[in-house]
């Protein structure tokens, strides 16, 4: 098992946990700049409850590692453009006249948590990461499903689809976010790769069907066995698979109906309500009203998804249609879980 000292000393081990940016909000709410993606050095210091000089020293010692995880230093025209786009913050958060500004991504802030030795908040973040790593390692593995029957070609298809969805597509999303001149070409290439991924997923399901399995039944059984916490994490993983970044699973009583938040590759914000309703026929209108109030009034977002393991009552669907909320019922959830990309995220 990874221990805290190893995280502090080993960059390789730190890199292996950097996808779990939800750890930051699980320990303490991280305030972001108006762009919804970055924080300043002063804001990082406030989060970790240390002096700003401590963070500056950390930046100096580990600049290359932090830069590889999203740290940017703006100067000249880039700094002026950023200030113009974030006037509400710049007028009260930092002086207009300055030569440079360090912007930290959530990933870079998580990186800092694994480097700060004398911050109690950073220590709690590391503890959360270690707990999640322990749970992942102790989760039982099901080796019963056709281990001796799966063909080599099918296994390769499955692995390639996994790599495309988990590595290549997110890489293109990051390039698209920062590119200007070649943005259109990158989007076209990403779409081509996603088509290949979908075809490989289809091929895998077809082979499974020929071998006597019922993939939809397997997906349905897997979802049915999930606790509500596991179901929220499952939806978060689907968002990441479809290219969303900054995915945070709240799992708190004060979520006001919003269970998962994320950011789409084009910058739009996403809020998700996850409802695991085992043994119940439909989502009632009261649940939809609560989520509509949270997603459209209390914490407005660009895309609001209500994902359920059941269907929606006619009243609930009517409220969703009026509020601009996208509903994902049981059948759509099963298709999404089986590899079909959700239309709302395209």
Our CA angle for 114, 115, 119, nearest 5°, is 85
Residues 323 and 252 in one domain: yes
pLDDT at 134: 57
CA–chain centroid gap for 100, Å, is 29
Contact 333, 307 (CB under 8 A): yes
Residues 204 and 120 in one domain: no
pLDDT at 92: 41
Residues 249 and 330 in one domain: yes
Tokens for 156, please give them: 């390769």
For residue 222, being part of any structural domain is answered with no
For residue 147, being part of any structural domain is answered with no
* Full domain range(s) for residue 202: 152-213
Residues 88 and 160 in one domain: no
Tokens for 223, please give them: 């979802």
Q: Given a cut of 90, is residue 136 above it in pLDDT?
A: no
Q: What is the pLDDT of residues 137-176, one digit of tens each?
A: 555 444 444 444 444 444 555 555 555 555 666 666 666 6
Give mean pLDDT, residues 80-86: 72
Q: Among the listed ranges 130-134, 238-242, 288-292, which one has the minimum average pLDDT value?
A: 130-134
Contact 215, 209 (CB under 8 A): yes
pLDDT at 201: 60
Q: What percent of the chain has pLDDT over 70?
A: 66
Residues 101 and 156 in one domain: no
- Which of 161, 187, 213 is the last residue before a domain boundary? 213
Q: Given a cut of 90, is residue 36 above it in pLDDT?
A: no
Residues 234 and 203 in one domain: no
CA–chain centroid gap for 253, Å, is 20
Contact 334, 220 (CB under 8 A): yes
Q: Given a cut of 60, is residue 200 above it in pLDDT?
A: yes
Q: Whole-model pTM?
A: 0.43
């Amino acid at each position: 098992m990874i221990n805290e000292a190893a995280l502090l000393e080993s960059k390789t081990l730190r890199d292996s946990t950097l996808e779990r940016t939800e750890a930051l909000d699980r320990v303490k709410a991280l305030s972001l700049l108006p762009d919804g993606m970055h924080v300043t050095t002063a804001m990082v210091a406030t989060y970790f409850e240390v002096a700003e000089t401590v963070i500056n020293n950390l930046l100096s010692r580990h600049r290359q590692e932090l830069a590889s995880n999203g740290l940017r230093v703006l100067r000249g025209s880039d700094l002026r453009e950023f200030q113009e786009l974030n006037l509400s913050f710049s007028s009260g958060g930092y002086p207009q006249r300055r030569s440079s500004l360090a912007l930290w991504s959530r990933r870079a802030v998580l990186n800092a948590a694994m480097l700060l030795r004398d911050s109690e908040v950073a220590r709690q973040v590391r503890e959360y990461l270690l707990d999640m790593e322990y749970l992942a390692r102790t989760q039982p593995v099901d080796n019963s499903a056709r281990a001796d029957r799966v063909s080599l070609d099918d296994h390769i298809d499955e692995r390639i689809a996994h790599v495309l969805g988990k590595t290549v597509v997110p890489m293109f999303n990051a390039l698209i976010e920062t590119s200007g001149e070649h943005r259109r070409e990158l989007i076209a290439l990403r779409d081509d790769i996603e088509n290949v991924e979908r075809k490989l997923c289809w091929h895998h399901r077809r082979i499974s069907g020929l071998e006597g399995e019922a993939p939809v039944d397997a997906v349905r059984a897997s979802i049915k066995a999930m606790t509500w916490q596991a179901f929220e994490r499952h939806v978060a993983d689907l968002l990441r698979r479809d290219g969303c970044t900054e995915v945070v699973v709240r799992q708190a009583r004060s979520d006001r109906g919003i269970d998962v938040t994320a950011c789409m590759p084009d910058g739009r914000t996403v809020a998700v309500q996850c409802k695991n309703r085992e043994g119940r026929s439909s989502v009632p209108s009261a649940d939809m009203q609560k989520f509509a109030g949270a997603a459209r009034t209390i914490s407005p977002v660009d895309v609001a998804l209500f994902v359920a393991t059941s269907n929606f009552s006619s009243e609930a669907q009517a409220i969703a249609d009026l509020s601009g909320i996208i509903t994902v019922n049981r059948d759509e959830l099963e298709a999404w879980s089986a590899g079909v990309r959700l239309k709302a995220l395209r």
